[in-house]
Structure 1
Amino acid sequence: MELLGTIILILVSTKLFGQLAIRLEQPAVLGKLLIGIIIGPAVLGWVNDSAVFQEFSNIGVLLLMFLAGLETDAEQLKENWKPSVAVAVLGIILPFVSAFGVGSFYHFDLAHSVFLGVLFSATSVSITVRVLKEMSVMKTKESTTILGAAVVDDILVVTLLAFVMSFMGEGTASVSIPMLLLKKVIFFVVAFVVGVYVIPLFLRVVSKFKVTVPLTTGALIICFAYAYFGEMLGMAGIIGTFLAGLFISQTKYKEEVEHSVDPIANSLFVPFFYVSVGLSISFVGVSSQIGFLVICTVVAIVSKLFGGFLGARLTGFDKNSSLAIGSGMISRGEVALIIATTGLNTGLLAKDYYTTVVISVILTTLIAPPILKKYFRKIKTSI
């Protein structure tokens, strides 16, 4: 009964606040993120974290990235690989150096400063994808560059995190760097081979089944199998589901899969993901660290925006497009939250600063949608 009540509360509140945000000419996702804070432990305490809640949230973000893959133009992704790599690399270097500087300024030791740099180098485009879909700009070269950069960013940051944990973490087993890189190579090779040769055949066979919605079920099997395989090899599950969607988008079943999976994702699971972001917020003890919180948040936003902007400008985008791409990389989202938790467990993030860092991550996620919407509007009006 408690779960059913939670489901009702989340579905009603996210839709109402999403609509309110639209009325205020803001992305609907902004309202959905804010309501997570309001009904969570930080304010009203109506919804609390639980294992079931987290599973719903995890499924939501996996499906969100699967739909992003379905809507991504693969040809444009191939054409824009250079700017994607440039945006990702500069979008890691600048935040890493800036956050490391913040840690040093607050007298963090070397390990804690390095980890802070890694944490704020991460990018999560789950929220960005939702905004891009709302604005119907998923097929633009700017959006494609953002999604490509997010894939590269994830690979580099996860690898960097493994290096830091292996050399600086407390109570962690030594990590074999060659083995880590080998796993990444295996993942992408297998994902590519299966995507090109197996997925089209699998969907063709499944589509002939006489049971209910066989194609939708087949697509979800592929989606979750890619996520499971990715996580087995140390990749973020969202990268796996994005690639699964991307490969299915190259088949003749793309439209049918998209139209059948979208209602499943956005009517139930994705709202849990939005609310889960707000559940991480707690204002207890933060008042004594306001300066650190403000500096962290400003540095996180500016460094990522400028890093993405610079990468885009160096690869041929104009000023407005470069700002749009940079703004699409601002949100740290669930990727940084996962890294923060890992840092807490391995002694690389001081417990006293954990809550403040998490709030800073959440703030980047809340601030990113309006900035993103602003710059994509400028692109539309300049066309």
Structure 2
Amino acid sequence: MPFPPLLIEIGNHQMEVAETLIAVGRFLVIFVAARALAELMVRLQLPTILGELVAGVLIGVSGLHLIVPPETHAQLGNFGVNLLSSLAEVSPEQVREIYAETFPNLAAVSQIGLYALLFLTGLESELDELVAVGMQATTVAVTGVVLPFALGTAGLLYFFHVPLIPAVFAGAAMTATSIGITASVFGELKYLKTREGQTVIGAAVLDDILGIVILAVVVAVAGGGTLSIGPILKLVVAAGVFVAAALFLSRTAAPLFDWVLDQLKAPGEVVVASFVVLSLSCFAAQAIGLEAALGAFAAGLILSSSKHTHAIQETVKPLVALFATIFFVLIGTGMDLSVLNPMNPDNREGLIVAAFLLTVAIIGKLASGWSYFSKEKTNRLVVGIGMMPRGEVGLIFLGLGTQAGLLTPALDAAILLMVIGTTFLAPILLRFVLAGKPEPAEQPA
């Protein structure tokens, strides 16, 4: 017997109410938790990004289960489910179903935060200084990729007898640097425009390129595909052309952008025009097989010589404060700290492997700070620590390995702990190393 139209309409309305309550409730929980922990971190003289990560842990799969990424296969907390169920007059099962279906929307919003943050990082980068440290950044990037990858893979093969493909995958997970976390910490510590800051940002960009190449190779091998040199060379060439084009446009495209902006009269012209450039750059990067995050940084670099740079920065910063907060909190929500419990026999093998991976991950990146030659006096320890956090990049690698069924539970937990350890240690160590030092002056180009 079919339901009357009125009952169907009422049912659809209840589902819409539930969807709205879930969406608004997630934002409310994220912003309240992030702000509370950020205020605490400021009073402890620690970077606010650390508070956002901790907030994610507290409300995520390791805490209250208020925000749970579906890929973790963890259940939402009963309190939140029952509350939403009673308010929207739908069943708890429907609440969970709607939550899982709409979570990608929240993840997409968080990606806007990442792209806005990297756009702002490129915008605040001194191009002449970035080019000036190009050789140092290249050396730092190559060392920071090769050392963790080689040591991690070899150690897993010979000490822990891990099969070749999982060992290579774990080694690859340690290669990249989270440019989002690095940029946020350096920006907050007023260290972004220093020689050390520019070296780390340049190296992190190259790390992403090298990480993309390694990821493509590992995924091809793991997927049973044939390993051919052609696609790899194509990816490397595409990355080189894209970076070269961004550097060229940063010298030539700013006057055209300024002219277009001067012709616009409607309110919001600065932020809209800037995000058009950001979107085009991200689209171009993704279209040629690169990461959109690299395109976001390139977009900021292209507009860094605009006469409207200050106005662009002022309009983008509030967007970063909102959306980047969501991005970093979501990183924390996916961290399952139950793997740290040594009382669980199933965790002990993972903890031993994790200790090895964490040690290699730290040493490999720290060593990169001493791998370059420079006539200028630089704080090499700051460079090494700045390269340390894996953040979302490591989690992406981990997610791919888990989905492909390449990792044992112990190795899966070990990689997660390596990502958590480097992500949390870097902001703390940077604050400790730079404590008591005067804010650096902006270095002239």
User: Normalization by structure 1: what TM-score?
Assistant: 0.91
Mapping of residues 157-236 of structure 1, within 5 Å: 157-166=211-220, 168-172=221-225, 176-236=231-291
Q: Which amino acid aligns with 2:358?
A: T
Which residue of 1 is the match for residue 370 of structure 2? 310
Q: For each residue in 1:323-373, what CA deviation from the matched residue of structure 2 results, as whole angstroms up to 9, or x when unmatched? A: 000000000111122122223344544455324312321221111101122
Distance, in Å, in 2 between the alignment partners of 1:27 and 1:82 is 29
Root mean square deviation, CA, Å: 2.3
Assess if the C-alpha contact under 8 Å between 2:238 and 2:288 holds in 1: yes
Alignment partner of 1:363 out of 405, 421, 443: 421
Contact 1:124 1:334 in 2 (8 A): yes
Deviation at 1:67, TM superposition (A): 0.8
**Aligned-pair CA distance for 1:77:** 0.8
Equivalents in 2 of 1:172, 1:221: separation in Å? Answer: 37
- Report what 1:292 is aligned to: 353
What's 1:332 paired with?
390
Amino acid at match of 1:256: A
2:43 aligned partner: 23
Does the C-alpha gap of structure 1 residues 101 and 34 become closer, same or farther in structure 2, counting only changes over 3 Å?
Answer: same
Partner Cα separation in structure 2 for residue 201 and residue 282 of structure 1? 48
- Matched residues in 1 for 2:192 and 2:308: separation? 19
CA contact (8 A) 1:170 1:348 kept: no
Of 369-378 and 272-281, the range deviating more from structure 2: 369-378
In structure 2, what is the equivalent of residue 278 of structure 1?
A: 332
Give CA-to-partner distance per residue, 1:153-202, whole Å, 9 cap, x none: 11122112223333x21245766223223322442344345444345313
* Partner AA of 1:258 in structure 2: Q
1:83–1:315 contact (8 Å) kept in structure 2: yes
Decide which moves more: 172-181 or 65-74: 172-181
State percent identity of aligned pairs. 29
Length-normalised TM-score, structure 2: 0.79
Q: Which amino acid aligns with 1:29?
A: I
1:153 aligns to 2:207 (yes or no): yes
Structure 1 gap ranges (5+): none
Look up the match of 1:140: 194
Measured against aligned partners, the alpha-carbon deviations of 1:81-108 in whole angstroms (never above 9, x if no partner) come to 1111111111112111221133122211
Task: Say whether the 8 Å CA contact 2:149–2:175 is kept in structure 1.
Answer: yes
- Is the aligned partner of 1:101 residue 2:157? no
Matching residue of 1:78: 131
Q: Deviations over 1:134-159 (max 9, x none)?
A: 11121111100001111111112211
Give the letter aligned to residue 71 of structure 1. E
Structure 2 unmatched runs, 5+? 1-20, 70-102, 341-346
In 2: Cα distance, 1:182 partner to 1:276 partner:
33
- Deviation of the 1:218 alpha carbon: 0.4
2:402 to 325, 344, 361: 344
The one-letter code matched in structure 1 to 2:32 is: V
2:168 to 98, 102, 114: 114
The secondary structure found in structure 2 opposite 1:103 is helix
Distance 1:301 1:249, change over 3 A: same
CA 1:354–1:36: 2 relative to 1, 3 Å:
same
Q: Distance in 1 between matches of 2:258 and 2:30?
A: 34
Name the residue aligned to 1:68.
121
Contact 1:207 1:214 in 2 (8 A): no
Deviates more, 1:197-206 or 1:334-343: 197-206
1:277-310 deviation digits (Å, cap 9, x = unpaired): 112212456623222222222221222112x222
Of 39-48 and 343-352, more deviation after overlay is shown by 343-352
Alignment coverage as a number of residue pairs: 378
Q: Which deviates further from its counterpart, 124-133 or 341-350?
A: 341-350
Query: Which structure has the higher relative contact order (CA within 8 Å, separation 6+)?
Result: 1
In structure 1, what residue type is equivalent to 2:35?
K
Q: CA deviation at 1:43?
A: 1.2
- Of residues 295, 301, 304, the one that matches 1:240 is 295
Select the structure of larger CA radius of gyration.
Answer: 2
1:7 to 27, 52, 55: 27
Q: CA-to-partner distance for each residue in 1:200-222, whole Å, 9 max, x for gaps?
A: 31342133212111121000111
Is the 8 Å Cα contact of residues 173 and 394 (structure 2) preserved in structure 1? yes
